Amino acid sequence: MDHELLKAMTFLAKQAGKSTLPFFYGNKALKIDYKNEEGRQSPVTVADKKANDIIVSGLGLMAEYPVLSEEGKHLPFKTRQSWQRYWLVDPLDGTKGFIHQQPEYTINIALIEDHQPLMGVVYIPVTDECFFGMRGHGAFKQVGDAAPVQIHTRLQTAKPMDILVGHFDHSKNLTSLLSLLKEHAGYHLIRLNSSMKFCRVAEGGGDAYARLGPTSEWDTAAGQAVLEAAGGLVVDTNGLLLRYNEKKSLINPMFCAVSQRSIIPSLLADIRHVQSLRELGSK
């Protein structure tokens, strides 16, 4: 049953993604609004809403699990805390770049089971790349109508490490971390929008993705599912796997997504050092 669900999820993500292309290429008017996400102002477009409608309608036909979507109704934790399985959706991740016609936006659908991603799909409409994976069953990449190819994370870390960060991430925390990495062993920086960063690490195109600023749970779940199915890990600053729907807030802690476990100790040590410097500076 789960394999059939994953297959249906990929079809649905592609369908939703294709609906965004006329807006991306300017063939349809792109109306932009702004919403408040736990104190953060975030843009939302008619393309986000159209993709969301397609996904939510489709998921309702697939399995009777609750749906938590960025563009849907955000139910209180009192209601959510009893969910064992549910859909977690970001119908258009990378809206800020999408508005500026940057092609790195993604469609994200994850199935969460017992607070962890069981399976996930990340679709990149502009390049027609679809990444999907399920815990214990591997991760795959499909380009267009070609046959899916299994993907794996790197077995050996690049020297210097390939570090992925967001195009719009210029936070003081990240700047401090990059300074530390430069002192230790250096790094090669790759800037990408959206959950594409998880996918590039999953297919061997990078060593780590560091996020030291706020993200929401729908931003990471599908990418985490793909990366972990490909052999990687997504951990918080305590070295624990990123988990979902365990608290009232839907904001993630700081995290790093890595290609292999051996990267975690040194990278987390640097992140904790950055945290301690920030804490000292705030006193």
The domains located in the chain, with CATH, are 2-151 (3.30.540.10), 161-281 (3.40.190.80)
Residue 279: per-residue pLDDT: 63
> Can you give the pLDDT at residue 174?
87
pTM of the model: 0.94
Helix, coil or strand: residue 16:
helix
Distance, CA of 236 to chain centre = 14
The ranges of the chain with pLDDT < 70 are: 1, 39, 277-283
Q: What is the pLDDT of residue 276?
A: 81
Residue 257 contacts residue 233 (beta carbons within 8 Å) = yes
Edge-first strand listing for the sheet containing 149-151: 67-69, 85-93, 106-113, 116-124, 129-134, 138-143, 149-151
Q: Is 214 exposed, middle or buried (0-12, 13-18, 19+ CB in 10 A)?
A: middle
